[in-house]
Chain A
């Protein structure tokens, strides 16, 4: 049997720690595959409607604040970096560094969600461009929509997809934040050792995946209105 992970508790269905490690890794990748299909359905529907209502989606994109989006993108990319550092620290068994980086990642994640919630969604709600909650753009927003000859219903559809896609993404962020919290507590108590860093690695995979989704969402939703 393998000597790579001598002190890990091996669940009884596994022969050794290596098998356990590999099983967990494969499980995580398969989970991410289902996630890709999940988001894939959304992306496909989005693309179809974008072709159906080009003007409406252009106008809808104009309602978003690309600067805030860009800021959040930077926040997320940084958090991916700190997460990678956390995984690295875990592999080397550096407990303090691990806790530090996990905490940084957590903060960045919370920043992202906070900004999204307050500066974007809440703002959209106040300016009546949140779909389903009495959608009726006013002032400059309305003028821009008219300038593009966009039917209002198509703009609302765009906003609907925007809320759906970023909403599901944010839900994943929140789950990620929960996972990070658990990890921090575990690391604090010294439960994460060099040998059992596996769990940090899995969390890292998840976190990077959620970031990558955002990397697709950002241009798709925000930059559509900027380029033209």
Chain B
């Protein structure tokens, strides 16, 4: 795509030339930067930290579940562990992951702009995010919170003496970061596209980021007001959600899921966008049915606001509400299926290479299919009435969030790392790690589907002995998975210093971001590029490497 104005790519772009990383030195130049690429790094560092905290919690959970009575912690602590694990992984890791890191880094580069529309707001979003994160960290340090990531009332408002307020405040604050980022991206994509970059020439990553941003902007305020009401009820003991005070506990669930269901697509859509980029680049083909993939992102965003009630089938909501929400949940699955089929069809007659990013993309497709189809199980009323709140649900969402979203995130990291740093990582290690993650992942979560079918409830610190063998299997898987995550952590850090120089386009991919040197200069493009081609126009030849 769009190589028209940037034809003369310097052939020898060593790391020595002036780029966004070495344009300025010192902590201050990072903490006060308005460069979207540096802000992407700020996010990358913050969310990696949060991921490690969340992962350690996961590790402790799995170790504790090795024996039915709990191996290392008391039930009280166990409850805090899964709560912190859920809150951190969802609100502080997965929701910001791809949007805040790769959205920030790539959106301006992909549309041929010098920066996002509101760079200062962008920096502010990061500070807001970190502030929110600090509140959550404070809640942990001060003794933890044990509401579950869902904060269900009246438990959270009237019965718990843990640090609910701090945790809720953290999520509330982090939410505003999400809103501001979404706002920034929508305006950027609408108003900052380079000449010739029409909507249907945009890479599919941008379509999915756009749909994600709309959901962030419209959904997050509802979460904010919900947590606000929880705080009011806790502080003043007025009956908003607690029936003992005259409130309605189901209202909380409605408000919470009105946000948190769209939130699950906030987590998966960016990953789907990444997968579209990867599949195109590593099979050197335009995505099959581009328009269908693009519009399915929009369809998912639209329908996702109408299905929240599927988390409440057995909560006492009316049978008729259940029927309607079940039907709509089925409907929201169709656009996802369309995406999966189109990605698979893109491989047909492609020129497929198996670089690490591609392995993650292929892993994504398979695991997302499994996670998504088990979502359909849950949307089927009579089945949900059976497996609701068992490990079946836990397995469903880990298949999508870990097997899907994180695979996409890892793929993105491996694909754009050379662009971000100018250096390559050891490809062989990367492929080995991808395999370890795939194996470890399935070993961890496949047994949990069976546990769910057998009726093991989730959020159980102590469980009947008949479930032990499957739990041991799952823990074994998690330790393999953990190794798989630690390897990239090591070689990425290694490559920062010792990695071979990557050159502007190591994967010989199309896309405006690959037309700049690696790492890109502070304002991305010397001149505003003029776009004359569709996205993924591999038919016109592949760019040179180096």
A-to-B contact residues, CB < 8 Å: 11-15, 19, 22-23, 26-27, 30-31, 33-35, 37-38, 40-42, 44-45, 48-49, 52-53, 131-132, 151, 153-154, 156-157, 160, 164
Contact = CB atoms under 8 A, between A and B. Distances in A.
Q: How would you classify the secondary structure of chain B's contact residues: helix, strand, loop or mixed?
A: helix
A26 B235 CA distance: 37
A34 B114 contact: no
Interface string B178-218: 01000110111011100000000000000000000000011
Contacts of A164: 229, 232
Interface in B302-333: none
Interface string B153-185: 000000000000000000000000001000110
Contacts of B523: 12
A143 B32 CA distance: 61
A22 B239 CA distance: 45
B239 A132 contact: no
A45 B118 contact: no
A44 to B, nearest CB: 8
B240 A34 contact: no
Contacts of B248: 48-49, 52
A48 B251 contact: yes
13 contacts: A12-B114, A12-B115, A14-B117, A15-B528, A23-B191, A37-B219, A38-B221, A41-B255, A45-B255, A131-B238, A151-B246, A156-B239, A164-B229
Contacts of A157: 238-240, 246-247
A26 B119 contact: no
A38 B186 CA distance: 19
Given A26-B191, A37-B222, A156 B238 contact: yes
Contacts of B245: 153
B544 interface: no
B183 A41 contact: no
A37 B224 CA distance: 10
Interface of B: 108, 113-119, 179, 183-184, 186-188, 190-192, 217-222, 224-226, 229, 232, 235-240, 245-248, 251, 255, 258, 523, 528
Contacts of A11: 119
A100 B192 CA distance: 36
Nearest to B528: A15
A31 B240 CA distance: 27
A160 B116 contact: no
A160 B226 contact: no
Given A13-B115, A23-B191, A26-B191, 11 more contacts: A13-B113, A19-B191, A27-B183, A34-B218, A37-B219, A38-B221, A38-B225, A41-B221, A49-B248, A131-B236, A154-B246
Given A13-B119, A132-B236, A132-B238, A41 B186 contact: no
Contact of B229 (A35, A45, A131): A45
B194 to A, nearest CB: 9
A109 to B, nearest CB: 23
Contacts of B240: 45, 157, 160
A132 B237 contact: yes
A26 B217 CA distance: 13
A74 B108 CA distance: 46
B126 to A, nearest CB: 17
A153 B184 CA distance: 43
Nearest to A43: B225
A27 B226 contact: no
A132 B235 contact: yes
B192 A19 contact: yes
Contacts of B217: 30, 33-34, 37
Nearest to A37: B221
A38 B187 contact: no
A45 B217 CA distance: 20
Contacts of B113: 13
Nearest to B114: A13
Nearest to A36: B221
A37 B192 contact: no
A26 B220 contact: no
B236 A38 contact: no
Contacts of B238: 131-132, 156-157, 160
A153 B225 contact: no
B236 A34 contact: no
Given A30-B186, A132-B236, A45 B246 contact: no
Contact of A27 (B117, B237, B258): B117
B236 A13 contact: no
A26 B186 contact: yes
Given A52-B248, A131-B238, A160 B232 contact: yes
Nearest to A42: B225
Contacts of B108: 13
A38 B223 CA distance: 8
B221 A26 contact: no
Contacts of B226: 41
A52 B232 CA distance: 20
A30 B183 contact: yes
A153 B239 contact: yes
Contacts of A33: 217-218
B221 A35 contact: yes
A151 B236 CA distance: 18
B48 to A, nearest CB: 27
Contacts of A160: 232, 236, 238, 240
A60 to B, nearest CB: 12
Given A13-B119, A34-B220, A23 B192 contact: yes
Contacts of B183: 27, 30-31, 34
